[in-house]
Amino acid sequence: MEEREISQAVIRRLPRYYRYLGELLEHDVERISSNDLSKRMKVTASQIRQDLNNFGGFGQQGYGYNVKYLYTEIGKILGLDVKHNIIIIGAGNLGQALANYEAFESRGFLLKGIFDVNPKLTGISVRGIPIRTMEDLVDFLKVNEIEIGVLTIPKEYAVEVAGLLTANGVKAIWNFAHIDLNLPPNIVVENVHLSESLMRLSYNITRCNAEQKNEK
Amino acid sequence: MEEREISQAVIRRLPRYYRYLGELLEHDVERISSNDLSKRMKVTASQIRQDLNNFGGFGQQGYGYNVKYLYTEIGKILGLDVKHNIIIIGAGNLGQALANYEAFESRGFLLKGIFDVNPKLTGISVRGIPIRTMEDLVDFLKVNEIEIGVLTIPKEYAVEVAGLLTANGVKAIWNFAHIDLNLPPNIVVENVHLSESLMRLSYNITRCNAEQKNEK
């Protein structure tokens, strides 16, 4: 494991490298040059070389990158070789969509529980995992070592539930609730604010329409 | 509408301003200083002033910002005052979660149709909108002016479906499929790659655990 600080910008790009390398592996590609990778990923070859150099230069001049090796090493850097126990709070459509996400397991995320306030959902299973009532949450956290909590609940409850989770040992929150959680700095938070993504889309459409009008 | 180019970094922050201002409005706050907004949003006051100056300085020295005015103006910049017809391709859990998203309408996104390959879903309604078969898609696009297509389908089909949509007048794709679509530059694409978000979370947990070990 590299100890030096890697910029968040590079980190943000790593999952995309990981995805492309995974696709190459699926197609039995053993080696790839930064130029070929550049064409596929629409990133300059020099950017690719620079990014991957952060991790100790997996490339060999004239031979390109060993796809399997690079895939495995980036996986390690991303922590995908470590198992993480994960629970989902909120078993609505979004919560169930995530619960059904099969790639969880292959990336080391083991879904251990699903919780919801709605008593009608209690006992229903998603991929073999029963939905539990929120009243069982704290007891569940005491006997299961849960590292990640996924919040797919309305924003009104998100701050309180995030507090409950982290007070009971959860170290990271994958937050889909449309609110900033303001947790202590030792808690890792990754936000997915879908409505902000939709607003960026809206902005870019408006912009694009305006440009096309100007061209006419 | 401002004509000068605004950096993508500022654009990325606007939806978050919009969200905070919306919350202030809900609590009947009429004016706010950049300092108060700074404390809530955990962004420096000078960053806030700089960002909002891009849009012609809505702030008045000593009076702060008029919340309603700023909210409305940012909404306009984001194109939220314009109506966009939207369809969802893929009526699985994620597609249905998005179809049930009530804030769509209030932000100008009018859900006009939901499509799925699974014949078992045909005719089921989500919020009054029936799920249609994919075979009806092209005819539907001919008689309805659809601006945005949401892709909540497996990556294997995403490129083909995106091509079909844009060939039939769709101008923007909100892409949840885990693949880059490589569409022409006049098509607006906003990607939500959930598994990349999960990998960033994984990386940050690994990093955080390593730091805590080092401290001991």
Instruction: Tell me the DSSP string of B94-130.
Output: HHHHHHT-THHHHTTEEEEEEEES-GGGTT-EETTEE
Q: Per residue in B13-42, is it b (16+ CB within 10 Å) or e — as a string?
A: bbbbbbbbbebbeeeeeebbebebbbeebe
Chain A: nearest CA to B12, how far in angstroms?
7
Instruction: List the single residue in A94, A174, A208 with the smallest CB-CB distance to B201.
Output: A174
pLDDT higher than threshold 90 for residue B107: no
Classify A149 as helix, strand or coil.
Answer: strand
Distance CA A137, CA A159 (A): 16
**Tens-digit pLDDT profile for residues B71-87:** 998 999 899 999 999 99
Query: Taking the model in full, what pTM does it have?
Result: 0.88
Count of CB atoms situated within 10 Å of the CB of A96: 25
pLDDT of residue B22: 92
Mean pLDDT over residues B19-31, rounded?
92
Decide if B203 and A84 are in contact by the 8 Å CB cutoff: no
pLDDT of residue B3: 46
Mean pLDDT over residues A119-126, rounded?
92
DSSP A117: S
pLDDT higher than threshold 60 for residue B181: yes
Residue of A nearest to B108 (CA): A202
pLDDT of residue A61: 63
Distance, CA of A196 to chain centre: 17
pLDDT of residue B86: 96
pLDDT of residue B128: 92
pLDDT band at B106 (very low <50, low <70, confident <90, very high): confident
Chain B: nearest CA to A209, how far in angstroms?
9
Residue of A nearest to B156 (CA): A23
- Mean pLDDT for all residues in chain A: 89
Instruction: List the single residue in A15, A193, A208 with the smallest CB-CB distance to B199.
Output: A15
pLDDT of residue B99: 93
Residue of B nearest to A107 (CA): B199
pLDDT of residue A103: 77
The ipTM (two decimal places) reads: 0.87
Q: Which two tokens stand for residue A140?
A: 């569940």
Mean pLDDT over residues A40-65, rounded?
78
Q: Which two tokens stand for residue A119?
A: 């008593």
- Mean pLDDT for all residues in chain B: 89
pLDDT band at A102 (very low <50, low <70, confident <90, very high): confident
Mean pLDDT over residues B112-132, rounded?
94
